[in-house]
Chain A
Amino acid sequence: MYQGSPKDRNLTIVLFLAPVMLVFLVFKAAPLVMTAGISLLDWDVLKPFSSARFVGMKNFSKWFSSGELWNVLHHNLTYLGLYVPAVIVLSVLQALVLNQEVKGMRVFRACFYLPVITSWVAGAIIWRFVLNGRWGFVNQWLGSLGILGPNWLEDPHWAMPGVVMACLWKDTGYYALIVLAALKSMDKNCFEAARVDGAGPLSRFFRITLPLLSPTLFLLFVYNLMSGFQVFEPIYIMTEGGPANATTVLVERIYRYAFGLYRMGDASALTIILFLLVLSVTVLQLAFEKRVSHGT
C-alpha cells in the first residue's frame, strides 16, 4: 500500500512511466508524426529534403483514385480470408492434440514449435521445394489422389494460397501454444461434471471448451487481423509480390515505393492508410472485447 502524499504518489507514477513514455515518444509517436508529415510532401528520397514540395492530400487522392490500392487491398483481404480462419482452427486442433497426457508429448510440443523459431529465409526455401509444381510434396500428394496440382508460386491464382500454406506452417505452433495455455487454465471440475452428466467429447468441446476459449480466440482473431494487414516477410521472400503482381500487399508496396521508386511521400501516405486500417481493427476490438469476454 502506498504511504506517501498524493503529490509524491503522482511524481512516483510519472518517474516510473517516464522511461516507457520516452521510448514510446521517440520510437513510436515521433516517427508516426513524421510519416504523417512526409505523406503530405512530394519527396524524392534520393534528392535533398530541401527539394521536397508540399502537396497536401494529393498523395492520398492518388492512392484512392488508382486501381493499385484496391488491388493490393484485395490481395491483403484474400490473405486474411484464407489465413485467419485456418490459423485459428489449426491452432485449436493442434492445442487439443498437445493437451493430451501421453508419453513423449514434450517432444511433440517441441516439434510443433520448431517452425516458429525457423527463420523465414530457411522456411521459404523449404516451401519452394514443397510447393514445386513438378516435384513438390504437395503436388505429389495431390497426384496420388488423382488431382493435378497447380504450379503454386508461379501461378497468379495459386501464389497467395501457397504463401498462406507456408505462413500456417510457420505460425500455427505459436498460436497453438497460446490456446494450450488457455486449455490448461480451464477448471477440470466443469469437464468432470459434464462427463458425469453424460456429455460426450464433442458435446464437451462445443459446450464447455469452445465458450471458455472464446476470449483467447477473439484475441487471436484480432491480432491476426492486424498482423495480416502488415504481412510482408513471407511475401517478400517467397514471391516478391509476383507472379504478375498477384501477391502485392500493403507493406510490400510501401517498401517498393520508398526504396525502389524513391517516392517517400507516396510510401508515407500508404503507411498512414495502413495505420488507419489497423486502428479501425483496434477500435472494433475494443467495442467487441467485453461482449466476447463475458459471452453476451
Chain B
Amino acid sequence: MRKFAWTAALFLVVTALFANGSGDSDEELTLRYASFSAGENNAAVLEQMIAAYEEAHPGVVIENENAGFDDHFTQLVTKIASGDAPDAFELNMENFLAYAIRGAVKPLGDIAEQAGIPLSETYAPGVLESCSYAGEAHAIPLMFSTVLSIYNKQLFDEAGLAYPTQDWTWSDAQAAAEKIAQPENDLWGIYTPLQFWEFYKVTQQNGGGLMTSDGSQFTIDSPENLETLKFMVSRIQDSHVMPSDTELAGRGDWDLFVDGRVAMIHTGVWAFTEFAERCDFPWAVEVEPGNTRKATHFFANVGCVSRDTEHSVEALEFLHFLASDPSSVTARLEAQWELPTVNDPSVLERYLAQTPPENKIAVFNSLDYAVRPPALEQYQELVEIVNPKLEMVRLGLMSPEEALRTAQAEAEARIQL
C-alpha cells in the first residue's frame, strides 16, 4: 500500500514538473491567435504564413485558433468575458468598431512605436484609416474587400445591350434589368440583397443614410431612405426584375448567377474564386451604380491586440507579418484570399493581372466611393431592429413607410447615442 502511495506521489510530482516545463520555458513565447477568415479554403495558407513567421522568429510559437465565422465570434466573446482572451485576434469591420468602442482591443500607436513598425508607411492610407478609432490605429488591416456589380456579358449581348460603365446610375441598371428579365423563364435582370448591410449603403447612393453625419441622430425614416426602400422592393414587387423569396426557392444568389439566371449581381470580391471556377460564360465587374451619388461597401478584416495580453509588441509584430511580409502578401495573392493591404503598387499590378473577371480595376475604383457602417456601440442592436423590418417589406408583409417608421422609433428608444 505504502509502495503504491509513493509511486502515485512520484507520478504526480513528475507530471507537475513536465506540465510546468512544457508550456513556458524562458526561451519560448507562445502567442495565441484567433481567426476566422481563412475558413477551410485558406486554412493551409494561414498555416504557411504562421510557419514562415515562426521560422523568422525563433522562440515564438503561434497557437492558431482558427474557427468558422459564427463560431469565432461566439468563442471570442466567451474567452474575453472569462479573462482568457487570445493575445491577438481577427475581427471584421463592424465588429472591430464594436470592440474598439468597448476597449476590448489595445490602441496601437505606442506599441507600434515600441516595435519600430511604421504603420502609415506600410499600409494604404484609406485602409489604415478604417482601422482607426478616436484618431488612433486600433488594428492592423489584414485584408480588404469591396462589393461590385458583377455582370454576365452573354446575357447583355443576347439582349443587345451595352455593358455597364462606371457612370451608370440606378435608372441605367434598371432599364437594362427590365430588358433582360423574363420572370416566366426564371431569368432575372438584377439581384441585390434586401437586408441591412445593403440598405445602409444604398440609402447613401440616394443621398440618405441611417444617421446624421455627426452620428447624433437616427434618420432611418428620412424621405431619401423611404424612396430608396421603395425602389429596392419595387424590383421584386413591381418591375419584377428580381426574384422574390418564393421564386428564389432556397437557391443562393451566387447559384443564380453561376447558372446564368441573373444578368447583374451585387456581391463581394470574395466571389471571384468561385465564379472563376464555375461560370461557363464571360463575366466582368463594374463599380455599383448610384442615384444622386455613388456609395460602395468597404470591408476589411483586421488584426487586433487584446487589451489583456502581456505581449503586445510581439502580438503586433505577428499581425504586421501576416499583413505585410512579402511572403504573406504573395501567399494571399496566389490564393486570391481577398486583397493585401500594403501600400505597394506592384502588389496591385499582380492582383490586376489575375483574371477573370474582366475590368478588375473597378475593385480599386470602387474604393473611391467607400462608405462605412454606422459607428455605434450598439451597432448589432441596430441590425436587430432594422433587418427584420426590411425582411417584412421584402416578403410583402409590411409597407416601406411602416417599416422605416417603426425602425426609427425602436432605434430611438433602444439605442443610446
Task: Determine, out of A75-83, A148-156, A220-228, the stretch whose residues face the partner at the interface.
Answer: A148-156
7 contacts between A and B (CB under 8 A): A46-B77, A47-B104, A132-B249, A133-B249, A151-B249, A242-B391, A264-B81
10 new A-B contacts, CB < 8 A, other than A46-B102, A259-B73, A262-B77, are: A44-B102, A135-B249, A151-B245, A155-B395, A242-B388, A243-B245, A259-B78, A260-B384, A261-B380, A264-B81
Q: How many residues of B contact A (CB 8 A)?
A: 27
Contact between chains at B392 and A244 (CB < 8 Å):
yes
Q: Determine whether B39 belongs to the interface, using a CB cutoff of 8 Å to chain A.
A: no
Complex CA distance for A128 and B104, rounded to whole angstroms: 38
Within 8 A of A (CB), among B80-103: 80-81, 98-99, 102-103
Complex CA distance for A245 and B249, rounded to whole angstroms: 19
Q: Which residues of A contact B74 (CB under 8 A)?
A: 259
Q: Determine whether B378 belongs to the interface, using a CB cutoff of 8 Å to chain A.
A: yes
Q: Determine whether B118 belongs to the interface, using a CB cutoff of 8 Å to chain A.
A: no
Contact between chains at A244 and B77 (CB < 8 Å):
no
Contact between chains at B395 and A156 (CB < 8 Å):
yes
In the complex, how many angstroms separate the beta carbon of B74 from the nearest chain A beta carbon? 5
Complex CA distance for A2 and B118, rounded to whole angstroms: 78
Contact with B along A91-133 (1 / 0, CB 8 A): 0000000000000000000000000000000000000110011
Q: How many residues of A contact B (CB 8 A)?
A: 28
Complex CA distance for A155 and B246, rounded to whole angstroms: 9
Contact between chains at B246 and A151 (CB < 8 Å):
yes
Q: Determine whether B397 belongs to the interface, using a CB cutoff of 8 Å to chain A.
A: yes
Q: Which residues of B contact A264 (CB under 8 A)?
A: 81
Q: Which residues of B contact A135 (CB under 8 A)?
A: 249
Within 8 A of B (CB), among A124-178: 128-129, 132-136, 151, 153-156
Contact between chains at B73 and A243 (CB < 8 Å):
no
Contact with B along A7-50 (1 / 0, CB 8 A): 00000000000000000000000000000000000001111010
Complex CA distance for A168 and B395, rounded to whole angstroms: 27
- Given A45-B80, A155-B395, A259-B74, residue A245 in contact with residue B388 (CB < 8 A): yes
Contact with B along A245-267 (1 / 0, CB 8 A): 10000000000101111101000
Contact between chains at A133 and B388 (CB < 8 Å):
no
Complex CA distance for A256 and B387, rounded to whole angstroms: 14
Closest Cβ neighbor of B102 among chain A residues: A46
In the complex, how many angstroms separate the beta carbon of B101 from the nearest chain A beta carbon? 9
Complex CA distance for A129 and B250, rounded to whole angstroms: 8
Closest Cβ neighbor of A242 among chain B residues: B391
Q: Determine whether B381 belongs to the interface, using a CB cutoff of 8 Å to chain A.
A: yes
Within 8 A of B (CB), among A239-296: 242-245, 256, 258-262, 264
